[in-house]
Amino acid sequence: MATTQNQEMAAIPCPYCEQETTISVPDGDVELEVRRSVALYGDHTTVECSAGHRFWVYFC
């Protein structure tokens, strides 16, 4: 039997057009930082809004 973990979710506004995109986050207590460009290090996810804008969300 497979077990499933409850994923924390967060709504993030696109830094280009402000449309909200829902992403899963590793922990509910994590601080999210939205960037228009990728950094050299850090836990992050790549996000694309419904308008096709790509941006990065870092978990601090």
pLDDT tens, the chain, 60 aa long: 454 566 789 999 999 999 999 999 988 788 999 999 888 888 899 999 999 999 999 998
Query: Given this model, what pLDDT does residue 5 score?
Result: 60
Is residue 55 within 8 Å of 36, Cβ to Cβ?
yes
* Three-class DSSP labels, the chain: CCCCCCCEEEEEECCCCCCEEEEEECCCCCCEEEECCCCCCCCEEEEECCCCCEEEEEEC
With CA atoms as reference, report the closest residue to 23 among 4, 3, 33.
33
Query: Given this model, what pLDDT does residue 1 score?
Result: 47
CA atoms within 13 A on the CB side of 27: 7
Query: Given this model, what pLDDT does residue 6 score?
Result: 67
